[in-house]
Chain A
Amino acid sequence: MTVLKVNGRPVEISNRGDRTLATALREDLGLIGVRVSCAEGECGSCTVLVDNKPMTSCLMLAQQAKGKEIVTIEGMANGDDLHPIQQAFIEEQGFQCGFCTPGLILSTKAFLAENPNPTADEVSVGMSGNICRCGAYPYIVKAVLKAAELMDETATA
């Protein structure tokens, strides 16, 4: 067994080499918020944070994540309290069917950590690695801008 640190907790996955991180998170750990769509690193649905950096978990091997801190959508809320980014996506309806949303929220977290006060154009570029096949992009951009606002409030409160 291989121990990974996922959402702040040590968890066990199979020690097979030939499995992607996305597969291990979904199948060994039941973290099905990790969505696999293209499985080729293009659509960004499977985005997770590895040591705070956004990575497509469909292209990474599970064993490569050993010793790193993994965050999936399941690790964003604090108990019943949604993360401000989740709250913002709800308030601005930054989704349609919701399939791509976990990946978008994790990309948003990494993006805002680097650029806490972005312009709408910067958001579009920052989110360019996440495809929303429903085309909810205008709402997604608003949601990310709203998230920046909410996080700024929480930080100064």
Chain B
Amino acid sequence: MKSAFTYERAGSPAEAVALLAKHGPDAMIWAGGTDMTLQWQQEKVSPTVCIDIRDISELDYIEIDNSGIRIGAMASLASLERSADRHHILTMLSDITKLMATPQTRTLATVGGNLCNASPAADLSPAFVALDATVKIFSALGARKVSMLDFFKGVNKTEVGPAELLEEVFIPLPDDGDVQASYKRIDRTVVDIALVNGSAAVTVGSDGVISKVGLGLGAVAPIILNAPDASAALEGLKLSDVTREKLAKVAAIAAKHAKPITDVRASAGYRQDMVEIMLRRSLEDSISKHGGTL
């Protein structure tokens, strides 16, 4: 049987965490509710209290300054979709949202909810990992920062503690040069989660040298993976020296980190082969966006 629950509306992060502390572990946060309502109906979770944070408008923003891009946890996928003109990294994130769900679901669904649901196949997480994003987590004690990589703890498990709230995702922008990123996924139908996905973010300094490479591998482990050895294999190279063969090698090193499983959507072998291709294409795309010729 679906659990019966009462409803509480939080008007601020402080109110939300106070309500969480007051009601205990069976009180659950509803942001857009696109994952929560389904999980409740499918009896995967049994909340006794719904804490609705939809109206916390102070967490609904997308801001850009010299240091980076800040996305509030309550920014909807629809507003991220409509932020494309504001920065080329937002263009790339906007393109990701267009792969996600449907227009009507994107108006409900939030960026914070996508991260906190912590699906290994979620679409925003690999790009945020590749972009070396950090998140801000709010509690009664104040705010703390966690790297996007360390945020994910397992399937549907994150760093967010029982009386905490995800507040913000911060994407750093380089002091020198620029960052370009790309995301690729394989899906079965239009409205379905990815079978496997991969993302790359490449920073090129004003001297034309690749100063930083971030990679994110999704749906090949319980959490999103990175691949520091593969990143290192590309860092320090001049943009003009990058070749298709080099990128293929980097993708192959990165794909070794994958620990895919077989499930109804795809076999482990298929995921293993495809994650390499997703990464290679993401790398090629990021290099091309920098004006690199391959």
Contact = CB atoms under 8 A, between A and B. Distances in A.
B215 to A, nearest CB: 30
Contact of B38 (A41, A44, A64, A128): A41
B292 interface: no
Q: Main SS of the interface on chain A?
A: loop
A54 interface: yes
B5 A126 contact: no
Nearest to A127: B103
Interface residues of B, number: 30
A17 B102 contact: no
A17 B104 contact: no
A137 B9 CA distance: 40
Contacts of B49: 17
Given A42-B102, A53-B78, A128-B102, A59 B108 contact: yes
B50 A61 contact: yes
B41 A17 contact: no
Nearest to A15: B7
Contacts of A59: 32-34, 37-38, 105, 108
Contacts of B105: 41-42, 56, 59, 129
Interface residues on A, range: 20 to 34
Interface of B: 2-7, 9, 30, 32-34, 37-38, 40-41, 49-50, 52, 54-55, 78, 101-105, 107-108, 190-191
Contacts of A20: 37
Contacts of B107: 50, 53-55
Contacts of A128: 102-103, 190
A18 B38 contact: no
Contacts of A41: 34, 38, 101-102, 104-105, 108
Given A17-B6, A17-B50, A128-B190, A64 B104 contact: no
A21 B187 CA distance: 30
Contacts of B41: 39
Interface string A100-136: 0000000100010000000000000010111000000
A106 to B, nearest CB: 9
A60 interface: yes
A91 interface: no
Given A20-B37, A64-B30, A55 B108 contact: yes
